[in-house]
Amino acid sequence: MHYKLLLVLFTTLYCYTYIPELEIDLSAPPKQRWKEAVQLVLNLYGYEETFGPVFAFHNEHSFDVLNQDDYTTIAQALRKNFPEHALELEGIIEVLDRPEITFEYMAGWAYFHEIAHITNQFQECTGVLLSLDDQVIHGRNMDQAPKQGRNLVLHLYIKKDGKNIGEVVDWYWFKGGFITALKYNVVALEENWRIDEYLTKESVMTYIKKGLPSLTQVFRDILINEKLNTFEKVVQYLENNEVGCGLYNIVSGMQKDQGVIITRGSQETFQTIRLNTSIGIKYLVQTNYDHWLPDPEYDPRRTEAENLLQGMKNNLMNEFGVYAIMNTYPVHNEGTFLTVIMNAKYNRIIVLGQEAITFFDDE
Protein backbone atom coordinates (compact mmCIF):
# COMPACT_ATOMS: atom_id res chain seq x y z
CA MET A 1 0.00 0.00 0.00
CA HIS A 2 2.74 2.46 0.98
CA TYR A 3 4.57 1.46 -2.13
CA LYS A 4 1.49 2.27 -4.21
CA LEU A 5 1.11 5.66 -2.57
CA LEU A 6 4.73 6.45 -3.22
CA LEU A 7 4.29 5.43 -6.81
CA VAL A 8 1.31 7.76 -7.16
CA LEU A 9 3.34 10.61 -5.70
CA PHE A 10 6.22 9.80 -7.97
CA THR A 11 4.04 9.70 -11.10
CA THR A 12 2.30 12.89 -9.98
CA LEU A 13 5.59 14.76 -9.79
CA TYR A 14 6.68 13.57 -13.17
CA CYS A 15 3.46 13.83 -15.10
CA TYR A 16 2.70 17.51 -15.22
CA THR A 17 4.81 17.95 -18.29
CA TYR A 18 5.01 14.45 -19.70
CA ILE A 19 2.01 12.45 -20.84
CA PRO A 20 1.43 9.71 -18.24
CA GLU A 21 2.23 6.20 -19.43
CA LEU A 22 0.40 3.04 -18.48
CA GLU A 23 0.16 -0.58 -19.54
CA ILE A 24 -3.29 -1.85 -20.50
CA ASP A 25 -3.83 -5.61 -20.53
CA LEU A 26 -6.73 -6.51 -22.78
CA SER A 27 -6.67 -10.05 -21.39
CA ALA A 28 -7.52 -8.81 -17.89
CA PRO A 29 -11.15 -9.22 -16.76
CA PRO A 30 -13.09 -6.53 -18.69
CA LYS A 31 -14.22 -4.65 -15.60
CA GLN A 32 -10.60 -4.25 -14.43
CA ARG A 33 -9.02 -3.11 -17.69
CA TRP A 34 -9.43 0.66 -17.43
CA LYS A 35 -9.74 1.14 -13.70
CA GLU A 36 -6.09 2.00 -13.19
CA ALA A 37 -6.21 4.53 -16.03
CA VAL A 38 -9.22 6.31 -14.54
CA GLN A 39 -7.62 6.31 -11.10
CA LEU A 40 -4.34 7.63 -12.48
CA VAL A 41 -6.03 10.61 -14.12
CA LEU A 42 -8.12 11.33 -11.01
CA ASN A 43 -5.04 11.16 -8.78
CA LEU A 44 -3.10 13.48 -11.02
CA TYR A 45 -5.66 16.18 -11.73
CA GLY A 46 -8.91 15.46 -9.87
CA TYR A 47 -12.41 15.08 -11.30
CA GLU A 48 -12.95 18.84 -11.65
CA GLU A 49 -10.00 19.22 -14.02
CA THR A 50 -10.76 16.11 -16.07
CA PHE A 51 -13.99 14.18 -16.54
CA GLY A 52 -16.21 16.77 -14.84
CA PRO A 53 -15.81 19.63 -17.33
CA VAL A 54 -15.43 17.24 -20.30
CA PHE A 55 -18.78 15.63 -19.50
CA ALA A 56 -20.43 19.01 -18.85
CA PHE A 57 -19.15 20.47 -22.12
CA HIS A 58 -20.29 17.56 -24.26
CA ASN A 59 -23.63 17.29 -22.47
CA GLU A 60 -24.24 20.76 -23.79
CA HIS A 61 -22.70 20.46 -27.26
CA SER A 62 -22.96 16.79 -28.24
CA PHE A 63 -25.42 14.84 -26.12
CA ASP A 64 -28.07 17.55 -26.19
CA VAL A 65 -29.66 15.68 -29.11
CA LEU A 66 -30.41 12.62 -26.94
CA ASN A 67 -33.41 12.12 -24.70
CA GLN A 68 -33.78 9.59 -21.89
CA ASP A 69 -35.30 6.95 -24.21
CA ASP A 70 -32.36 7.27 -26.59
CA TYR A 71 -29.90 6.64 -23.75
CA THR A 72 -31.91 3.56 -22.74
CA THR A 73 -31.96 2.25 -26.31
CA ILE A 74 -28.20 2.76 -26.72
CA ALA A 75 -27.48 1.11 -23.36
CA GLN A 76 -29.59 -1.93 -24.27
CA ALA A 77 -27.94 -2.25 -27.67
CA LEU A 78 -24.47 -2.04 -26.13
CA ARG A 79 -25.19 -4.66 -23.47
CA LYS A 80 -26.69 -7.00 -26.06
CA ASN A 81 -24.17 -6.60 -28.86
CA PHE A 82 -20.98 -5.73 -26.99
CA PRO A 83 -21.19 -7.33 -23.53
CA GLU A 84 -17.44 -7.10 -23.00
CA HIS A 85 -17.39 -3.40 -23.86
CA ALA A 86 -20.35 -2.92 -21.50
CA LEU A 87 -18.41 -4.55 -18.66
CA GLU A 88 -15.41 -2.32 -19.33
CA LEU A 89 -17.64 0.73 -18.99
CA GLU A 90 -19.05 -0.65 -15.74
CA GLY A 91 -15.52 -0.82 -14.33
CA ILE A 92 -14.90 2.79 -15.36
CA ILE A 93 -18.21 3.86 -13.78
CA GLU A 94 -17.24 2.13 -10.52
CA VAL A 95 -14.07 4.19 -10.23
CA LEU A 96 -15.74 7.46 -11.21
CA ASP A 97 -18.36 6.67 -8.56
CA ARG A 98 -20.82 9.51 -9.14
CA PRO A 99 -24.61 9.17 -9.25
CA GLU A 100 -24.92 11.05 -12.55
CA ILE A 101 -22.44 8.74 -14.30
CA THR A 102 -24.79 5.87 -15.06
CA PHE A 103 -24.38 2.98 -17.46
CA GLU A 104 -26.89 4.67 -19.80
CA TYR A 105 -24.78 7.83 -19.79
CA MET A 106 -21.52 6.01 -20.51
CA ALA A 107 -23.22 3.97 -23.25
CA GLY A 108 -23.93 7.34 -24.87
CA TRP A 109 -20.19 8.08 -24.65
CA ALA A 110 -19.41 4.73 -26.27
CA TYR A 111 -21.05 6.17 -29.40
CA PHE A 112 -19.77 9.72 -28.83
CA HIS A 113 -18.46 10.25 -32.36
CA GLU A 114 -21.58 9.09 -34.13
CA ILE A 115 -23.78 11.21 -31.83
CA ALA A 116 -21.53 14.26 -31.80
CA HIS A 117 -21.38 14.26 -35.60
CA ILE A 118 -25.08 15.15 -35.64
CA THR A 119 -24.54 18.66 -34.26
CA ASN A 120 -21.18 19.27 -32.58
CA GLN A 121 -18.67 21.33 -34.57
CA PHE A 122 -15.86 21.57 -32.00
CA GLN A 123 -13.19 19.50 -33.61
CA GLU A 124 -10.12 19.78 -35.75
CA CYS A 125 -7.36 17.31 -36.39
CA THR A 126 -4.39 17.19 -38.73
CA GLY A 127 -2.60 14.21 -40.21
CA VAL A 128 0.63 14.41 -42.23
CA LEU A 129 2.22 11.54 -44.15
CA LEU A 130 5.74 12.05 -45.49
CA SER A 131 7.42 9.47 -47.69
CA LEU A 132 11.15 9.21 -46.99
CA ASP A 133 13.07 6.51 -48.86
CA ASP A 134 11.70 3.27 -47.42
CA GLN A 135 9.85 4.85 -44.48
CA VAL A 136 6.72 6.88 -43.98
CA ILE A 137 6.64 9.45 -41.20
CA HIS A 138 3.21 10.09 -39.80
CA GLY A 139 2.42 13.26 -37.83
CA ARG A 140 -0.81 13.52 -35.91
CA ASN A 141 -2.49 16.39 -34.03
CA MET A 142 -5.72 15.71 -32.17
CA ASP A 143 -7.77 18.84 -31.52
CA GLN A 144 -10.91 18.90 -29.39
CA ALA A 145 -12.65 20.73 -26.58
CA PRO A 146 -12.84 21.51 -23.71
CA LYS A 147 -9.29 22.15 -22.51
CA GLN A 148 -9.58 19.78 -19.53
CA GLY A 149 -9.73 16.93 -22.05
CA ARG A 150 -5.95 17.33 -22.34
CA ASN A 151 -5.64 15.97 -18.84
CA LEU A 152 -7.23 12.73 -20.01
CA VAL A 153 -4.52 12.06 -22.59
CA LEU A 154 -2.53 8.92 -21.79
CA HIS A 155 0.20 7.01 -23.54
CA LEU A 156 -0.88 3.38 -23.31
CA TYR A 157 1.13 0.24 -23.97
CA ILE A 158 -1.38 -2.38 -25.07
CA LYS A 159 -0.90 -6.01 -24.14
CA LYS A 160 -2.96 -9.06 -24.96
CA ASP A 161 -2.34 -12.72 -24.17
CA GLY A 162 1.09 -11.84 -22.80
CA LYS A 163 2.15 -10.06 -25.98
CA ASN A 164 2.84 -6.37 -26.54
CA ILE A 165 0.63 -5.56 -29.51
CA GLY A 166 0.86 -1.81 -29.82
CA GLU A 167 0.65 1.69 -28.37
CA VAL A 168 -2.06 4.27 -28.08
CA VAL A 169 -1.91 7.99 -27.34
CA ASP A 170 -5.42 9.21 -26.78
CA TRP A 171 -8.04 10.63 -24.43
CA TYR A 172 -10.97 8.52 -25.69
CA TRP A 173 -9.68 5.40 -23.87
CA PHE A 174 -12.31 6.00 -21.15
CA LYS A 175 -14.98 4.94 -23.61
CA GLY A 176 -13.05 1.79 -24.35
CA GLY A 177 -11.57 2.72 -27.71
CA PHE A 178 -9.22 5.10 -29.46
CA ILE A 179 -8.46 7.11 -32.60
CA THR A 180 -4.63 7.17 -32.53
CA ALA A 181 -2.74 3.88 -32.42
CA LEU A 182 0.33 2.02 -33.56
CA LYS A 183 -0.06 -1.70 -34.25
CA TYR A 184 3.44 -3.12 -33.89
CA ASN A 185 4.95 -4.35 -37.16
CA VAL A 186 1.85 -3.44 -39.16
CA VAL A 187 0.48 0.13 -39.22
CA ALA A 188 0.07 3.53 -37.60
CA LEU A 189 -3.55 4.64 -37.44
CA GLU A 190 -5.29 7.99 -37.16
CA GLU A 191 -8.93 8.97 -37.46
CA ASN A 192 -10.07 12.54 -38.20
CA TRP A 193 -13.48 14.12 -38.05
CA ARG A 194 -15.42 14.49 -41.30
CA ILE A 195 -18.55 16.61 -41.55
CA ASP A 196 -21.41 14.29 -42.53
CA GLU A 197 -24.28 16.09 -44.24
CA TYR A 198 -26.42 12.98 -44.43
CA LEU A 199 -26.38 12.22 -40.74
CA THR A 200 -29.54 12.43 -38.64
CA LYS A 201 -30.30 11.21 -35.16
CA GLU A 202 -32.47 8.54 -36.73
CA SER A 203 -29.64 7.22 -38.91
CA VAL A 204 -27.30 7.10 -35.92
CA MET A 205 -29.86 5.28 -33.76
CA THR A 206 -30.51 2.79 -36.56
CA TYR A 207 -26.78 2.14 -36.83
CA ILE A 208 -26.50 1.53 -33.09
CA LYS A 209 -29.56 -0.72 -32.97
CA LYS A 210 -28.17 -2.80 -35.82
CA GLY A 211 -25.37 -3.80 -33.44
CA LEU A 212 -22.58 -2.00 -35.30
CA PRO A 213 -19.50 -0.92 -33.35
CA SER A 214 -18.70 2.67 -32.43
CA LEU A 215 -15.99 4.45 -34.40
CA THR A 216 -13.47 4.20 -31.54
CA GLN A 217 -13.77 0.38 -31.45
CA VAL A 218 -12.47 -0.01 -34.99
CA PHE A 219 -8.77 0.65 -34.30
CA ARG A 220 -9.04 -1.52 -31.25
CA ASP A 221 -10.41 -4.34 -33.41
CA ILE A 222 -7.53 -3.86 -35.84
CA LEU A 223 -5.05 -3.98 -32.98
CA ILE A 224 -6.28 -7.34 -31.69
CA ASN A 225 -7.23 -9.00 -34.99
CA GLU A 226 -4.23 -11.13 -35.90
CA LYS A 227 -5.50 -11.61 -39.45
CA LEU A 228 -5.11 -7.89 -40.10
CA ASN A 229 -1.34 -8.26 -40.25
CA THR A 230 -0.39 -6.20 -43.30
CA PHE A 231 -0.83 -2.58 -44.35
CA GLU A 232 -2.97 -3.53 -47.35
CA LYS A 233 -5.28 -5.74 -45.32
CA VAL A 234 -5.84 -2.95 -42.80
CA VAL A 235 -6.49 -0.43 -45.58
CA GLN A 236 -9.03 -2.75 -47.22
CA TYR A 237 -10.71 -3.31 -43.90
CA LEU A 238 -11.00 0.43 -43.27
CA GLU A 239 -12.31 1.03 -46.78
CA ASN A 240 -15.10 -1.48 -46.34
CA ASN A 241 -16.25 -1.66 -42.72
CA GLU A 242 -19.65 -0.16 -42.10
CA VAL A 243 -19.44 3.32 -40.54
CA GLY A 244 -22.01 5.27 -38.59
CA CYS A 245 -20.76 8.74 -39.52
CA GLY A 246 -18.30 10.55 -41.76
CA LEU A 247 -14.60 10.11 -41.03
CA TYR A 248 -11.10 10.10 -42.46
CA ASN A 249 -8.60 7.37 -41.75
CA ILE A 250 -4.95 8.27 -42.17
CA VAL A 251 -2.90 5.08 -42.27
CA SER A 252 0.85 4.53 -42.64
CA GLY A 253 2.77 1.27 -42.95
CA MET A 254 6.25 -0.19 -42.65
CA GLN A 255 7.31 0.02 -46.27
CA LYS A 256 8.03 2.60 -48.95
CA ASP A 257 5.04 4.75 -49.89
CA GLN A 258 2.70 2.91 -47.55
CA GLY A 259 0.53 5.86 -46.68
CA VAL A 260 -3.13 6.48 -47.49
CA ILE A 261 -6.02 8.74 -46.70
CA ILE A 262 -9.37 6.99 -46.68
CA THR A 263 -12.51 9.12 -46.84
CA ARG A 264 -15.67 7.54 -45.49
CA GLY A 265 -19.29 8.62 -45.18
CA SER A 266 -22.26 6.89 -43.66
CA GLN A 267 -23.90 6.74 -47.10
CA GLU A 268 -21.16 7.40 -49.66
CA THR A 269 -17.97 5.80 -50.94
CA PHE A 270 -14.84 7.60 -52.12
CA GLN A 271 -11.51 6.90 -53.72
CA THR A 272 -8.58 6.42 -51.34
CA ILE A 273 -5.54 8.60 -52.03
CA ARG A 274 -2.02 7.18 -51.71
CA LEU A 275 1.56 8.29 -51.38
CA ASN A 276 3.39 7.57 -54.62
CA THR A 277 6.88 9.01 -55.01
CA SER A 278 7.19 7.68 -58.57
CA ILE A 279 4.58 10.24 -59.64
CA GLY A 280 5.70 12.95 -57.21
CA ILE A 281 3.24 12.36 -54.36
CA LYS A 282 5.74 12.55 -51.50
CA TYR A 283 3.38 13.78 -48.83
CA LEU A 284 -0.30 13.94 -48.00
CA VAL A 285 -2.11 16.13 -45.50
CA GLN A 286 -5.58 15.56 -44.12
CA THR A 287 -7.48 17.92 -41.85
CA ASN A 288 -11.29 17.90 -41.71
CA TYR A 289 -12.30 18.66 -45.29
CA ASP A 290 -12.44 16.47 -48.38
CA HIS A 291 -9.16 16.57 -50.26
CA TRP A 292 -10.82 17.38 -53.59
CA LEU A 293 -12.16 20.65 -52.15
CA PRO A 294 -10.14 23.75 -51.24
CA ASP A 295 -9.60 24.50 -47.56
CA PRO A 296 -12.16 26.91 -46.14
CA GLU A 297 -10.60 30.37 -45.70
CA TYR A 298 -11.24 30.38 -41.96
CA ASP A 299 -9.33 27.12 -41.46
CA PRO A 300 -6.29 26.84 -43.76
CA ARG A 301 -4.48 24.10 -41.81
CA ARG A 302 -4.08 21.77 -44.77
CA THR A 303 -2.72 24.48 -47.06
CA GLU A 304 -0.34 25.71 -44.37
CA ALA A 305 0.99 22.21 -43.71
CA GLU A 306 1.34 21.51 -47.44
CA ASN A 307 3.29 24.73 -47.95
CA LEU A 308 5.63 23.83 -45.10
CA LEU A 309 6.17 20.35 -46.54
CA GLN A 310 6.79 21.78 -49.99
CA GLY A 311 9.47 24.12 -48.62
CA MET A 312 11.09 21.63 -46.27
CA LYS A 313 14.89 21.47 -46.44
CA ASN A 314 16.64 18.14 -46.82
CA ASN A 315 18.13 18.27 -43.35
CA LEU A 316 14.61 18.33 -41.91
CA MET A 317 13.38 15.33 -43.87
CA ASN A 318 12.98 13.29 -40.71
CA GLU A 319 10.76 12.91 -37.65
CA PHE A 320 11.92 16.25 -36.22
CA GLY A 321 10.95 18.02 -39.43
CA VAL A 322 7.47 16.52 -39.35
CA TYR A 323 7.21 17.45 -35.68
CA ALA A 324 8.17 21.04 -36.55
CA ILE A 325 5.26 21.18 -38.99
CA MET A 326 2.82 19.59 -36.55
CA ASN A 327 3.94 22.16 -33.99
CA THR A 328 3.45 25.24 -36.21
CA TYR A 329 0.41 27.49 -35.81
CA PRO A 330 -2.34 27.02 -36.96
CA VAL A 331 -1.65 23.35 -37.70
CA HIS A 332 -1.02 23.23 -33.97
CA ASN A 333 -3.63 25.46 -32.40
CA GLU A 334 -5.61 26.28 -29.26
CA GLY A 335 -7.59 23.08 -29.50
CA THR A 336 -4.65 20.69 -29.82
CA PHE A 337 -4.76 18.00 -27.11
CA LEU A 338 -1.84 15.97 -28.38
CA THR A 339 0.85 15.69 -31.04
CA VAL A 340 2.48 12.40 -31.92
CA ILE A 341 4.95 11.37 -34.59
CA MET A 342 4.60 7.76 -35.68
CA ASN A 343 6.91 5.58 -37.73
CA ALA A 344 5.50 2.10 -38.30
CA LYS A 345 8.75 0.79 -39.78
CA TYR A 346 10.51 1.25 -36.44
CA ASN A 347 7.47 0.74 -34.17
CA ARG A 348 7.96 4.30 -32.96
CA ILE A 349 5.35 6.61 -31.55
CA ILE A 350 6.96 9.78 -30.24
CA VAL A 351 5.12 11.92 -27.72
CA LEU A 352 6.68 15.18 -26.61
CA GLY A 353 4.41 16.02 -23.68
CA GLN A 354 1.51 18.27 -22.85
CA GLU A 355 0.63 20.92 -25.38
CA ALA A 356 2.15 24.34 -24.95
CA ILE A 357 -0.49 26.50 -26.64
CA THR A 358 -3.28 27.37 -24.25
CA PHE A 359 -6.96 27.13 -24.95
CA PHE A 360 -8.95 29.97 -26.48
CA ASP A 361 -8.80 33.09 -24.32
CA ASP A 362 -12.56 33.49 -24.22
CA GLU A 363 -13.18 30.01 -22.79
Ligand X SMILES: *[C@@H]1O[C@H](CO)[C@@H](O)[C@H](O)[C@H]1NC(C)=O
> Is there binding between residue 155 and ligand X (CB under 6 A)?
no
Alpha carbons 228 and 226: distance in angstroms, whole number: 5
Between residues 17 and 278, which has the closer beta carbon with respect to ligand X? 278
Query: Which residue number, 176 or 259, has a Cβ lying nearer to ligand X?
Result: 259
Of 83, 276, 353, 357, the one binding ligand X (CB under 6 A) is 276
| 279 lies in the binding site for ligand X (CB under 6 A) | yes
Looking at the Cβ atoms of 35 and 233, the one nearer to ligand X is 233
Q: How far is the CB of 223 from ligand X (least distance, A)?
A: 24
How far apart are the C-alpha atoms of 327 and 137, rounded to whole Å? 15
Alpha-helical runs (H) found in the chain: 2-14, 35-45, 51-61, 68-81, 83-96, 103-110, 112-119, 201-209, 215-224, 231-240, 301-310, 319-326
What's at 345, amino acid-wise?
A: K
The yes or no reply on residue 280 touching ligand X (CB under 6 A) is no
**Whole-number Cα distances in Å, 347 to 40, 165, 184, 191, 318:** 26, 10, 6, 19, 15
- In this chain, which residue has its C-beta nearest to ligand X? 276
Instruction: Identify which range of 73-81, 135-143, 157-165, 272-280 contacts ligand X by CB under 6 A.
Output: 272-280
In the list 274, 303, 306, 354, the residue contacting ligand X (rule: CB under 6 A) is 274
Q: Supply the minimum distance, in Å, between the C-beta of residue 351 and ligand X.
A: 30
**Amino acid in position 190:** E
Q: Which is nearer to ligand X, 68 or 278 (CB)?
A: 278
278 binds ligand X (CB under 6 A): yes
Site size with ligand X, rule: CB under 6 A? 5
The three-class DSSP label of residue 179 is: coil
Least distance from ligand X to the Cβ atom of residue 299, Å: 29
**Phi, psi of 288, rounded to the nearest 5 degrees:** -130, 25
Q: Which is nearer to ligand X, 70 or 257 (CB)?
A: 257
Asked whether position 257 contacts ligand X by CB under 6 A, the answer is yes
Q: Find the part of the chain contacting ligand X (CB under 6 A) among 162-170, 228-236, 271-279, 305-313.
A: 271-279
Q: Nearest 5 degrees, angle CA 250-CA 254-CA 260?
A: 25
How far, in Å, CA of 160 to CA of 177, rounded? 15
Q: Which residues bind ligand X (CB under 6 A)?
A: 257, 274, 276, 278-279
